[in-house]
Amino acid sequence: MIVRFRRSSEAPARAIPVLPETSPRKPKRAAVAGFTGREGEVAEVSGRRRRVVLLGMGAKRDFEAAGALAVARLFSLEHIALDARGLTPTEAAGLAAGSVLRAWRFQRLLTRPEQLHIAPDRCRVERIDVLVDEPERGEAAWARISAGVDGALFARDLVAEPSNMLTPASFAARLAQLEQDGLEFELLQVAALREQGFGALLAVGGASVNPPCLAVLRWKGTIQAAPVAFVGKGITFDTGGVCLKAGHGMWEMRADMAGAAACAGAVLALARRRSPAPAVAVMPLAENMIGAASFRPGDVLRSYDGTTVEVVDTDAEGRLVLADALGWTLARLRPQAVIDLATLTGSIVTALGHHMAGLFSTDDTLAAHVAAAGAAVHELAWRMPLAEGYRDELDSAIADLRHCSDGFRQPDACHAAAFLRSFVGDTAWAHLDIAGVESNETASDRHAAGPTGWGVRLLDRLVADRFEDPHRA
Amino acid sequence: MIAVDFARAALPNEGALALLAMEGAEPAGLWAAADEACGGALRRAAEAAEFTGKKGQTCTVLAPGAGLSRVVLIGLGKEPDHTPLGMEEAGGSAAAALAKDSVAAIATDGMPASHAGHAALGARLRSYRFDRYRTKEGADAKPKLASLTVLTDDPDGARAAWPALDALAEGAPLARDLISEPPNVLYPAEMAERCRALVQLGLEVEVLGPAELTEHGFGALLSVAQGSAHEARVVVMRWSGGAPDAPPVCFVGKGVTFDTGGISLKPGANMGDMKWDMAGAGAVVGVMAALAQRRARANVVGLVGLTENMPSGTATRPGDVVKSLSGQTIEVLNTDAEGRLVLGDVIWYAQDRFKPALTVDLATLTGAIIVSLGHEFAGLFSNDETLATRLIAAGQATGERVWRMPLGDAYDKLIKSDIADMKNIGGRPGGAIIGAQFIQRFVRGPWAHLDIAGMAWSSKDAPTIPKGATAFGLRLLDRLVAEHFEPSA
């Protein structure tokens, strides 16, 4: 996608956000179209030389939504212009961000050229000109915001990949390429995992022909401080293991690595905008297959930090790989804060639907910062409880704890969070259960269909707002 | 029901005795005196049992001497746990441990007088039993505890503080009885009759029968009731203890006396639990009784929508469109999402008629809230920050904890109907939120909805709640009224 801030454009279509207070900009023909300018309203007026789309902004002034709407309406064109004249540079950049995020699509695997054009809603936008009075100021604002957009699109590309093409090893190889952006890459393969005692990760990945690994991406930053750590669940495919999932909808489990993808996208964003804050992404990667070497319900695993864990349901594997990764992160990196992201439970979808992620935290300040960062970038998170009662449900008769409860209609998202809590000690920690928000089933005016990259922009924003003050440490 | 009395702190010379031990503190007061009178037997027992006074710990010593039949040590935990709620839990644990003795005392010396009352309240709450259908239980199988003396440094102070707590101790069993009653015994008309009996306490009670409900146009409520041989009722209970011109607080309870799911029939496993699908209404009745009993200086109206949800030839079908009291039309796509239909009409009626300062509804509304929060918190949904904050605080203080859940347009969109103003379901994701969004369409003014499906019934004993009906919401709402709608004493 090419985004340029310019004073003029030859694009065959132009989208114009119409603000309530700037009605004089509204072309006269809008009146004919009955256009009132309320939020989300669209009117198209064909000009002599180009199509013109008017975007109602209402009082909400959501420029990202307007940029997305422009693309949704002009999807069939390769080149479009967004008229941001009169807007602030930040508003213009927001318009661009919304349009780029909406225009994303995954077409690497489409081999027949006609496929690119036949599907009626297949977006073809390749070039976006943002019309502004002062291109330099627009470009500067865009540089700040586009890093997060780049990171989100990187994450989406990973999540969209089918699981035969994105195994733990090939996922790691994709992450290794980010060295060219200035990130340090480290990989712990099976021998190292065995030596260091990643009993849970090895068990989860044990049945697959594609062995598990732990990938680490570091951004050094310039501030001398402990890093903020992002830990992401990276199950490249989740069959459920011995506790096999039902067949219907199982293909969606290729996205069960969206947490890891988001963590990678977040550190990529920090690198792209040369953030001063040190950060690290830790990504346990494994495939949860069913096979002769599968781990079983009833097994007891020894996690990285030595905790023994009784397995109740092999389909609750995400918390197991996170337990190892959190333990390793705390022991090796001594981070000032840890945020983990995981497509962890169906329970959180029942609780919050597809509109918000579940946010669990032992630290009220960190939780408030995470929620605020999410609200700023349209990635909403709702605080959910960590109470002793949930941990009590995880008592095991033969091990330190079990990893989920064995019953019908359980608050599994709360149980999972209580489980993870026992691996983070006193470190400031937040857990985002993103199972409801990692993908959009269908395209809408606001969102492209498919992976969302949820969490990348939240983490980027969180670091920008809370971890870049050199005096903080 | 155990009789409670307060007496000056002195070692009894017979019966059973409960002593409260603070974690990490040396025995003092009656705890030390009892130990001395028993020749050190209590300390030795505590040591042998590794009893340290940790919260929730108990240690029972049989016939330790000094004429005592039994001494029970109850762990109170550390200083921050010595709250009224902590005292209730200790009192409850004591009552459970003393159940085999007919006469018992509990020592609260060294504590403020109000703590004595909370210990007694805890004991009363824990001693609840629903045994009217046990016809063959022998006397030896029944708990014997009949009289509990609370030993305190300030018996007069404790007695003065007791009536307000006693009202809760009376209201809770009333609610628990209603919730525990089998559904062939407790159907809408029967529950309405039991509400009517509360006139004795000074409540004004009004029962709307099918004719009035039809006349008013409770179309949504009646659509739920039409499949059952039992007709619907709406009961209005008014307590006018406040200034005559003060707008009341309205509490609205879902009272589905049995919920089969209707034509959208539930699976058979555990369907018997659906007798307590009126637990919201049960709690509202209980809180109205408690407010009347303690002569609350506030205006409160409790309303319960009572119906049974049965499948039959006259039942509502999935796909039917019904017209609610508000005039809004509802496409019923699942007859098992019936609670919201009942509440929509009753809330609309309450607001229309009473112009309340605020409305709180209680309902065992969704399975989704159990998958969200389990049995730790009720789901709290509110359009009013102040009310939400107050309910959260009241929940912390009373142990009836609530967790705020979201509302918003993104969820409201999910109940758009193709042919009516709304449909009554919106898919599994966010199921409890969708239920709340539905109700919100019938709300004007400050409002909170408590989804208590995970809290109404307890599968195990808790310190102040024996296994079974909890009456969740009663204490929470009583506290809300006491803290924010009554002039401070």
What is the pLDDT, as a whole number, of residue A122?
81
Residue A47: DSSP 8-state: -
Binary contact (A349, B377; C-beta < 8 A): no
Quick one: pLDDT at residue B450?
98
Nearest to A129 by CA among A194, A193, A61, A81: A81
pLDDT at A457 over 70: yes
Answer whether A47's CB lies under 8 Å from A99's CB: no
Residues of A with CB under 8 A from a CB of B: 347, 349-356, 382-385, 387, 389-390, 393, 409-415, 436
**What does the block give as tokens for B395?**
């929940």
What's the angle, vertex CA B217, arms to CA B211 and CA B223, rounded to 5? Answer: 85
Helix extents (H) in B154-313: 155-180, 188-196, 210-216, 219-225, 279-293
State yes or no: pLDDT of A90 exceeds 80. yes
Answer whether B433 sits within 8 Å of A352, measured CB to CB. Answer: yes
Sort out which chain A residues have CB atoms less than 8 A from B414's CB and list them. Answer: 353
pLDDT of residue B11: 94
Is residue B429 within 8 angstroms of chain A, CB to CB? yes
Give the pLDDT of residue A23.
56
pLDDT-based confidence at A272, cuts 50/70/90? very high
- At B382, the pLDDT band (50, 70, 90 cuts) reads very high
Alpha-carbon B201 to chain mean position: 19
φ/ψ (deg, to 5) at A85: -65, 135
- Across the interface, do A382 and B367 touch by the CB < 8 Å criterion? no
Q: Dump pLDDT digits (tens) for A331-371.
A: 999 999 999 999 999 999 999 999 999 999 999 999 999 99
Annotated catalytic residues of A are 245, 319
The CB density around residue B196, as the number of other CB atoms within 10 Å, is 15
Q: Do A347 and B371 touch (CB under 8 A)?
A: yes
End-to-end Cα, chain B, rounded Å: 30
Task: Give first-to-last CA distance, chain A, whole Å.
Answer: 38
Side-chain-facing half-sphere of A450: CA atoms under 13 Å: 21
- B192 or B488, greater pLDDT: B192
Give the pLDDT confidence score for residue B267 in this predicted structure.
Answer: 95
Locate all alpha helices (DSSP H) within A206-276, ordered by sequence: 258-272
Name which of A350, A385, A409 is nearest B428 (Cβ-Cβ).
Answer: A350
- pLDDT band per the 50, 70, 90 thresholds, residue B81: confident
Tally Cβ neighbours within 10 Å of residue B249: 25
A-proximal residues of B, 140-179, CB under 8 Å? none
Distance CA A351, CA B432 (A): 7
Please tell me which of the candidates A350, A354, A389 has its beta carbon nearest to residue B372. Answer: A350
Q: Which two tokens stand for residue B18?
A: 């409960």
pLDDT in tens, A142-191: 999 999 999 999 999 999 999 999 999 999 999 999 999 999 999 999 99
Q: Are B337 and B436 contacting, i.e. CB atoms less than 8 angstroms apart?
A: no
pLDDT at A454: 98
Band of pLDDT at residue B229, cut at 50, 70 and 90: very high
- Mean pLDDT across A214-243: 97
- How far apart CA B374 and CA B459 sit, in angstroms, is 12
pLDDT grade, residue A472 (50/70/90)? low
Whether B435 has its CB under 8 Å from any CB of chain A: the answer is: no
Put simply, the chain B residues between 381 and 420 with a CB less than 8 A from any chain A CB are: 403-406, 408, 410-411, 414
Mean pLDDT across A83-90: 94
Q: What is the ipTM of this complex?
A: 0.93
Q: Is the pLDDT of residue A242 over 60?
A: yes
pLDDT grade for A118, boundaries at 50, 70 and 90: low
CA B198 – CA B299 distance, rounded (Å): 16
Q: What percent of chain A has pLDDT over 90?
A: 85
Cα separation of B470 and B177, whole Å?
10
Distance, CA of B344 to CA of B218 (rounded, Å)? 9
Q: Which residues of A132-153 are buried (b: 16+ CB within 10 A; e: fewer)?
A: beebebbbebbeebbbbbbbbb
Please compute the mean of the pLDDT values over residues A452-459 and round it to a whole number.
Answer: 98
How close, in Å, is residue B271 to chain A by CA atoms?
14
Q: Mean pLDDT throughout A52-76?
A: 93
- Asked if B361 and B302 touch (Cβ cutoff 8 Å), the reply is no
For A414, which of B374, B429, B433 is closest by C-beta distance? B374
pLDDT the model gives residue A48: 78
Best probe of the A interface among B266, B365, B376, B401, by most A CBs < 10 A, is B376
What is the number of other CB atoms lying within 10 angstroms of the CB of residue A368?
13
**Is pLDDT at A128 greater than 80 in this prediction?**
yes
Verdict on whether the full-model pTM lies above 0.90: yes
Inter-chain residue contact B429 with A353, CB threshold 8 Å: yes
Distance from CA of A343 to the nearest CA of B (A): 15
d(CA A102, CA A67): 8
Q: Do B408 and A355 touch (CB under 8 A)?
A: yes
Strand ranges for B291-387 from DSSP E: 299-309, 321-323, 329-331, 358-363, 378-382
